Amino acid sequence: MKKLLLILAMLLVTPLAAQDNLPPAPFAYQQLEDPELEAMAQDLMITLRCLKCQSQSIADSDAPMAGDMRHQVRTRIAAGEEPEAIREWLIQRYGDYVSYQPRVKASTWPLFAIPALLVLGAILVLRGRLRKAK
Amino acid sequence: MTRFRWFLWGVVAVAAGLFGLFAYQLTQPKDEFIESAMIGQSIPAFALRAAVPDRPGLSSEDLADGKAKLVNIFASWCIPCRAEAAQLEVLRESGAEIVGIAIRDRPEDVSAFLQVYGNPFTRIGADDISEVQLSLGSSGVPETFVVDGNGVITYQHIGDIRPEHVRTILYQLREAGA
């Protein structure tokens, strides 16, 4: 229990201490001039996890690191990079956890297959019932 | 009809199993650390200006000079970085070459920090917009990477280095060829 409390206390320390003195990265709070590119960046940013405040997207978070990640996204999009390539770049560094967009992989396919199977099963049961009712 | 009843019991069993799994996971402590996926890969190319006047800056070429090193990601505003200063000093005395990357920091703040807590670094690069930190897959300060002589990341330590971590880090550094 004591250990657990210590671990919890440790988790509290880092965010409180994360107060730096440098101004935010140029494109942390500055939108891109081209509204189309900005919309593209926005669509990507709401699906990327803030690594500091892990339940927020980088579009939502005011953590300096989230600002730095927004800067990366905006400058890369302005440079003509595809949003999915940027997502891939981050996944290469932080794993799938950094992206909120679920992906079909060897370990995740049941998440997609089971609902489909359940719906199929429900249809079969319903059809049987309806036939009996006639 | 009995077959249907068995089927219903099956549903109950699956639901109970799921709830059991949820209950188990809820009692497990949450792991907030995000490990870098870059372990085993080469450091991406970068070049950072010097963070303080009396140490040179840091580039990816400096990390591929044939000697295994520790790359410590720190900041003067980071409280746990103060706590690990003593351990960095022990590592340096044990023969580790340590280079630093200062995250979002002003030169005067870094200098003042090193004055108080000691300067175990041979080089310190200034990463003003966390660009290099992001490219390494590091998600906070402090973090310490072991990088071998070819510039390949072999180990990552997340959080401040405590006395009990020194041995592991030295071992990892030797494994990397230091």
Per residue in B40-49, pLDDT (tens digit) is 999 999 999 9
Average pLDDT over residues B93-106: 96
- A81 shares its domain with A124: no
Instruction: Determine the structural domain holding residue A113 and report its residue range.
Output: 103-134
pLDDT for position A9: 65
Name the CATH topology of B47-175: Glutaredoxin (3.40.30)
Residue A15, domain member (yes or no): no
- Chain B environment of A22 (Cβ under 8 Å): 104-106, 128
> For all residues of chain B together, what is the average pLDDT?
94
Q: What is the pTM of this model?
A: 0.82
pLDDT for position B66: 94
N-term to C-term CA, chain A: 62
Confidence of residue A13 (pLDDT cuts 50, 70, 90): low
N-term to C-term CA, chain B: 72
Residue A116, domain member (yes or no): yes
- Is the pLDDT at B178 greater than 60? The verdict is yes
- Chain B environment of A58 (Cβ under 8 Å): none
Q: How many CA atoms lie within 13 A of A7 on its CB side?
A: 10
A interface test, pick of B28, B82, B104 with most A CB neighbours within 10 Å: B104
- Chain A environment of B38 (Cβ under 8 Å): 92-93
- Chain A environment of B75 (Cβ under 8 Å): 20
- B4-31 pLDDT, tens digit per residue, is 889 999 999 999 999 999 999 999 887 7
Out of B36, B109, B159, name the one closest to residue A93 (CB). B36
The span from the CA of A30 to the CA of A8, in Å, is 35
- Is the pLDDT at A12 greater than 60? The verdict is no
- Is the pLDDT at A18 greater than 60? The verdict is no
Taking an 8 Å cut-off on Cβ atoms, the answer to whether B140 and A94 are in contact is no
Burial class (CB in 10 A: 0-12, 13-18, 19+), A69: buried
- Is the pLDDT at A10 greater than 80? The verdict is no
Per-residue tokens: B8: 């219903």
B154: contact with A, CB 8 A cutoff: no
Q: How many CA atoms lie within 13 A of A109 on its CB side?
A: 2
CATH code, domain carrying A84: 1.10.8.640
Distance of alpha carbon B70 from the chain centroid: 10
| Chain A closest-CA separation from residue B29 CA (Å) | 8
List the one residue out of A78, A68, A71 whose CA is nearest residue A38. Answer: A78
Residue A94, domain member (yes or no): yes
Taking an 8 Å cut-off on Cβ atoms, the answer to whether A17 and B78 are in contact is yes
- A115 shares its domain with A134: yes
- Is the pLDDT at B33 greater than 50? The verdict is yes
Domain boundaries, chain B: 1-30, 47-175
Distance of alpha carbon B170 from the chain centroid: 15
The span from the CA of A126 to the CA of A124, in Å, is 5
Q: Into how many domains does chain A fold?
A: 2
Q: How many CA atoms lie within 13 A of B66 on its CB side?
A: 0
B131: contact with A, CB 8 A cutoff: yes
Average pLDDT over residues B69-79: 95
Query: E-strand spans in B17-120?
Result: 47-48, 58-59, 69-74, 98-103
pLDDT for position A11: 58
The span from the CA of A87 to the CA of A83, in Å, is 6
- Chain B environment of A10 (Cβ under 8 Å): 159
Taking an 8 Å cut-off on Cβ atoms, the answer to whether B134 and A69 are in contact is yes
Q: Looking at this predicted complex, what is its ipTM?
A: 0.84
- A37 shares its domain with A92: yes
Residue A10, domain member (yes or no): no
- A38 shares its domain with A73: yes
- A90-134 pLDDT, tens digit per residue, is 999 999 999 999 888 888 999 999 999 999 999 999 999 998 877
Out of A4, A22, A97, name the one closest to residue B106 (CB). A22
- A71 shares its domain with A130: no
